[in-house]
Amino acid sequence: MALIECRKLTRTYRKGDVEVTPLANLNLDVEEGEFLALMGPSGSGKTTLLNLIAGIDRPTSGSLRIDGRDLTALSQRELAAWRAEYIGYIFQLYNLVPTLTAYENVELPLLLHRLSRAERHRKVAFALELVGLADRHDHFPRQLSGGQEQRVAIARAIVADPRIIVADEPTGDLDAQAAESVLSLLTRLNGELGKTLIMVTHDARCAGRAGRVLHLEKGTLVEAPSLAV
């Protein structure tokens, strides 16, 4: 059984007087430990699919099962608890809290867990070490480069040891060197730590790091040959 199973997944919403359906009857299986890249033009439903898998949004119809659990059957409270255990989300624009240090930003997800202060410290220190920013733990986001901010965001996404990492254009706001550093880190998380990774990207070179690439066209998935580099 696949870790993630989407069946006839549909999401419809209203935009003014117009009904928009970015995803319609979508079927998708993602195996545990897979690195999947989602490509496609703007408005094709990539981020919508990512948010459904992350439990941030709910489908209009269809089923979405992750690790055998039907997310559509969960209450909002149950879904929040499920996200805290299963999902690490990496945003394009980092979404760091500007008044918190790198350490405090990474610690935020752990506040949802019943952990002692010492346990939180151990996990935060490990995550910052993993992304190469142990020496920047007391820096605020404004004191960091874009690439460093994104690595803090990655540390925050992995600090609670989630089963699944979702990344929405994680290199979209970075220069080439910083983007390469972030991609190498994501590849390590998948290859060395076995994290299931789903990444939305417009960049074919970025997608080339994935084991499988799917294109979304008007809510329909089309598999593409591996772009591995």
Task: Work out the average pLDDT over 167-188.
Answer: 92
Mean pLDDT over each residue of the chain, to the nearest integer: 92
Mean pLDDT in residue range 12-28: 90
* pTM (two decimals): 0.91
Provide the pLDDT confidence category of residue 151 given band limits of 50, 70 and 90: very high
Residues in the chain: 229
pLDDT, tens only, 91-138:
988 999 999 999 999 999 999 899 999 999 999 999 999 999 999 999
Q: What is the pLDDT of residues 194-229, one digit of tens each?
A: 999 999 998 898 999 999 999 998 778 876 655 544
Distance CA 130, CA 192 (A): 12
Higher pLDDT residue, 173 or 59?
59
What is the arrangement of strands in the sheet containing 220-224, beginning at the earlier edge strand? Answer: 87-90, 164-168, 196-200, 35-39, 212-217, 220-224
Per residue in 53-90, pLDDT (tens digit) is 999 999 999 999 999 999 999 999 999 999 999 999 99
Domains of the chain: 4-224 (3.40.50.300)
Residue 143, both tokens: 């004191």
Res 8 pLDDT > 90: yes
Q: Which residues of 38-61 are buried (b: 16+ CB within 10 A; e: fewer)?
A: bbbeeebbbbbbbbbbbbeeebee
